[in-house]
Structures are given as C-alpha cells and as structure tokens.
Amino acid sequence: MQNRNLVLILFMFFLHFGVKAQDISIFQQFNGRYDYLAIGNTLNQAENNIVQSFCETLPSSQANLNVDSYSTIVAAYLYWAGSGLGDTEVSFNGTQINAENTYNTIFTDPFFGDLNYFSCYADVTNQILAEGNTTYTLSDLDITETLANNPGHCSRRTNFAGWSLYVIFENNTLPLNQVNLFQGLEIINRNVTEKIILLENVNVLDNDNAKIGFLAWEGDNALNFGESLSINGTIISNPPLNLADNAFNGTNTFTNSTTFFNADLDVYNIENNIAIGDTQVEIKLTTGAINPDTGIFSADLIIINNIITVLNSQLPDASITIDTVDSSCATRSITVNYTVFNTNSTDTLPINTPIAIYAEGQLIGQTETENNIPINGSENGTISIEIPTIIPDIFLLDIVVDDDGFGNSTVIEILETNNHDETQVILFPEPTISNLSNLELCDIGFSTALFNLNSILLEIDETSFLSFSFYETLEDLEQNTNSILNPENYQSQTTPQTIYVRAEKNSCYDIFTFLLNTEKCPPYIPQGFSPNSDGYNDYFNIQGLYTIFQKHELLIYSRYGNLIFKGNDNLKWYGISNYGTNKGKLLPTGTYFYVLKLNHANYRTYSGWVYLNR
C-alpha cells in the first residue's frame, strides 16, 4: 500500500500536548497502577550491514501478545517504520490501518544525497481490546518503490522496515506509577554524531524499579564505533543483549531476541540513574569513531522513534475549568463558577489547596478547595468578585489552582502546567440615560391625565431591544420592581412627572426618560341641565373646569340681570339660588345667564346662557 505523500495529521490529546515537529516529545501520560509491554518484529531478513545481498523487505512478520488475565488493557499504539517518505496504509491482522501521524527524518549522504526515513503511528486500542491475546501479523508495508528509486538505501545498507505494538495496561497489584510515552523521530549518524533528548513532564517520588524503554530503527550489531546511550550523564547497558558500547544492535528485551534485525525494542532499569525529585530526564546518544581495523571513521545510523518511562509516582494533579461567569448589568461584580479536578492523578489533592483569580494579570480574588479531592474526583466552587475600576470592561479572566496569589505552587503535582483556565469577560457599565420627547394631554383634574405610555416608543428603534417596561422611579427600574402594569391607560400622579423606560437587550438594558405634562384646555360649557335629582345632568356641568381651573368664579344671573348664584371650584350650581332675595330656593325652569371667570392669564372670561329644565 505504497503512499508517497507525506501525511501529517496533527491531533490533540488529553494532556493538551501536541506532536512537535520531529522532536521526541510527550505524547501520552498515564497516572495510576499502570505499566506497559511491547511486541513487534522486523521485516528485514537479516542485518543489512552484514548480509548485503538483499535489497527488499519481507511482506509480513508476526509477534505474539500475551497480557495476563489480571491486567486490563487501557491503550494500544501501533508503530511501523522504514526507508522512504512513508507508507501510511498497512494491514494489521487483516485490518487496514491508516496512519494518524507520520514522522520523517533525513540522512544526507555525500554520494547519494538525501536518504529519507519514516515512522507512522496509529491508535489501535479498540482492535486489541477486541482481539486480545493472539498472534498479530503486520503486512502490506511496502517500500519497494523507495528502494528502487533511490539506490543509496541499499548501497549504504539503510534499507529496513519493521513494526512494534505498545500496550499500556492497568493492574491493581502494581504500585502507583507514572507512565510517560514520548514519540517523534530523531536521528544520529556520521553527520550528527551526538544527540541530547530532554524528557520533561516527569515526576520522580520513588526511583525503585524505575525503567525506560526505547523503540529505535536501523541499529546494526556490527557497527559499534563510538556508540553509547546515557541517562542523566551515566552510560547504561543491559548485558548481554545491550552492551555499554552497543545499545542499538537489533535486539528485543521482551523476547530476549538478538535477531530483531535493524530495530531495537529495549528496556533498561534506571533506578540508579534517576533521583527522587527529578522532573526531567536527559538522554544522550552518540555514534562514530575510528575503526581500528581500517583506520577509517565509521558510525552507525540510529533512528529513535519513541521513549517510554515507568516511574513510581504518588502525586495529585490539580486542574481547573471555568464553568460560567455571571455578570450583571450596571455593576462590576461577577460570580465565577468553577470546577477543580484531580484527574489522571495518583494521590488525593489536599483540602485548602489555594486558588487565585487574575484579571489582566492582576490578582483580584482568592479562595481554596473545601475538601480532599480523591483520585479522578472533582469539586465545584463559586466565588463572587468586585472588579477594580482599573480593569477594563472587557478583560481576560484567569483562574489558577495551586497558586498562593504570588504565582507559587503549594502542592507537588504530577503536572504543573495544566493548573489554569481563562475566558474573556465583558462588564456592562451603568447604562446612559437618553431623553425622549414629552407627552402632553389636557388636564382632567389636579394636574393629571390618562396617558398611553406606549406611544413614546415610536421614538425608539424597537428592533434593537427585546422588551420595554415603564417605571415611576429610577430605583425601581434598576431593581426591576414595581413596573407600571397598564401603560396603555396610565393616570399620572401629578405633572410634570418623569417616567423611566427600561429597554432590555441581550446583555444589559438602556434607559430612556420622558415627562408627562398636562395643560389646561378650554372648558366645554353646556347649554342646559336638568336638576331633578335623577342622577343625570343634575348640575351645571362645565367640563374641564372643576379641579382644573381651581381659582375660577361662576356667576349666574336671572333674565332680569339679578345675580342669583356665586360658585367656585368647591361649589357647583344645582339650580338653587345662593345669592339675593331668593337665596336657598329652587329656581324655576327657564333661561339663565352665566359669567365664568377662569382667573387664568391664558384665558378670557366666558359668558352666555344656559337653560334650566325642571
């Protein structure tokens, strides 16, 4: 299944580490009662540096998986590698496997130019869980086109192919370990004779039974000139398989095989090479020296594909997420709802682990966990914070667990780089108040009128708001209480009166205000009334007069010009005389004359006649 295109599929994994170019870097981390085993096989029929008569690889090879019944498989990763840019499709026990990532590296030969090498990776956990312990066969890894088109691989004896399966398993009888799987593709050769690989994100609490494993390609047993593998400055070995001067020599520690041609699947005990408290491991590879038999400089070409460490570790791993941030309109107070996790850990996260909250890098709040959080447990929390005025209305909120407020950690953790979460927060400042036009109606008494408040909305772009409500005070509006229930028929309390409009938006609201005014409209004077005590039209009802022109004076005269009644705002004419010789008597049916003095600067005196009908 030859595929000459370089496939680079970048993906994220649960610890948020990305595969970083070709450098060996952290890929997955398992914390708990975990360990690993690896199987695999070469597709070379012999070591290509010794048997130089072949320039092809085998069509398939097999290896047996045997995980004991007390262990539970949690992850399985398949690697395959060879000469060239990469064959990204292979078969594994008859199932087509597509590479999830392809790594590449180059050796530049002075005669043949660039010689390319690749390694592919795929997660095959589901397949291994389904098929279990059995014989696994990798096939269809085809590099024939590469070997045919670039004779340098066979001429320089770097024609190789092979595969390996890494299985991470859990077993309750194991100690609490931290298993770190690093991967990439790094090369040493006669051009680059030394390589230092720094493994970070490790935590060593107990170095008993600490071990490190390597998957490497193209190592030759016959080429051990200047070759060494050192951990933290000390050369390591695993005799008789891996000698101090020949670490990459076609061996498989898991099967004790010396015929893993041009590939190495080796494990070393490093409890004497790593110290309690270490958070990183330095690996140094060397190759190249003068061949004493020929006097010529010789070097092995070695390609490191992945490195795995198993370290005893009993540590918590605090992480935190911001669940929601609640902010209210017209306030600088926010409420932060968060969750503290102790996921992928090997110990309890202790109570009172500090939590610091920052806005634009400035400490604005502190709290702490309220309980011991068990392995893979979590705890929800809430904190209310008043945002200082020096912080802008739009800012970055950062919450950090295991932070004492000065950037210091108080708890030793598995990973110190996953302790924070951030989000953008928008504050909604005090809404500005916009003035609208006044509403004016005729006074219906005591400087009041019946208003349709909704009519003022014609001055507002209603499409910009969700809803409107009316209030008699600004305090009621801000508290969103005591809204005017019937704005279509609202009687003012007195005039002028201010009305407040709360215009709701998705995030906040706007405020509009307007005045209710009344004006004294000309009164309407009827030409008759019937004071017969039937409850209808029983007095001289001059509409728009009483309680409106409160200083008015009403004078009634007989047809002979005699004054027979004097009235005011508190005294209406019911057809009874209150002045002159007939004072207190009912007046007969007939025509009478009136003089209405409004006593208002804007209005004249009205006069006319009215008919009284008994």
Instruction: Please state the rounded mean pLDDT for residues 318-341.
Output: 94
70-84 burial code (b ≥16 CB/10 A, e <16): ebebbbbbbbbbbbb
Q: What whole-number distance in Å separates Cα of residue 62 and Cα of residue 41? A: 6
pLDDT at 293: 87
pLDDT band at 206 (very low <50, low <70, confident <90, very high): low
Cis bond before residue 496 (omega within 30° of 0): yes
Instruction: Please state the rounded mean pLDDT for residues 39-46.
Output: 96
Instruction: Please state the rounded mean pLDDT for residues 184-209.
Output: 86
CA distances in angstroms from 323 to 209, 309, 340, 399, listed in the order given: 41, 34, 10, 11
pLDDT digits (tens, 9 = 90+) for 459-509: 999 999 999 999 999 999 999 999 999 999 999 988 899 999 999 988 789
More confident residue, 48 or 10: 48
> Residue type for 272, please?
N
pLDDT at 28: 94
SS3 474: helix
pLDDT band at 8 (very low <50, low <70, confident <90, very high): very low
Total Cβ atoms within 10 A of residue 188: 22
Q: Are 265 and 40 in contact (CB under 8 A)?
A: yes
User: What are φ and ψ of residue 322, in 5° steps?
Assistant: -85, 115
In this predicted structure, the answer to whether residue 9 has a pLDDT above a threshold of 90 is: no
pLDDT band at 313 (very low <50, low <70, confident <90, very high): confident
pLDDT digits (tens, 9 = 90+) for 340-392: 999 988 889 999 999 999 999 999 999 999 999 999 999 999 999 999 999 99
Instruction: Please state the rounded mean pLDDT for residues 271-278.
Output: 83
User: What are φ and ψ of residue 478, in 5° steps?
Assistant: -65, -35
In this predicted structure, the answer to whether residue 18 has a pLDDT above a threshold of 80 is: no
In this predicted structure, the answer to whether residue 395 has a pLDDT above a threshold of 70 is: yes
Instruction: Please state the rounded mean pLDDT for residues 309-325.
Output: 92
DSSP 225: S
Stated as kind and residue range, the H or E segment containing 129 is helix 125-131
pLDDT at 21: 37
The domains found in the chain, sorted by start residue, are 34-312 (2.60.120.1200), 319-426 (2.60.40.10), 433-519 (2.60.40), 524-614 (2.60.40)
Residue with tokens 């004493």: 292
pLDDT at 205: 65
Q: Are 585 and 535 in contact (CB under 8 A)?
A: no
Q: What whole-number distance in Å separates Cα of residue 485 and Cα of residue 467? A: 14
Instruction: Please state the rounded mean pLDDT for residues 44-54.
Output: 89
pLDDT at 461: 92
In this predicted structure, the answer to whether residue 435 has a pLDDT above a threshold of 90 is: yes
pLDDT digits (tens, 9 = 90+) for 423-433: 999 998 788 89
pLDDT at 276: 79
In this predicted structure, the answer to whether residue 230 has a pLDDT above a threshold of 70 is: yes
Give the tokens for residue 112. Answer: 């043949």
Query: Dmax of the chain from CA atoms?
Result: 158
Instruction: Please state the rounded mean pLDDT for residues 408-415.
Output: 88
The mean predicted confidence, pLDDT, of the chain is 91
Instruction: Please state the rounded mean pLDDT for residues 218-228.
Output: 92
Q: pTM for the full model?
A: 0.61
Instruction: Please state the rounded mean pLDDT for residues 301-309.
Output: 95
Q: Using CB atoms within 10 A of its CB, is residue 179 exposed (0-12), middle (13-18) or buried (19+)?
A: buried
Q: Are 543 and 523 in contact (CB under 8 A)?
A: yes
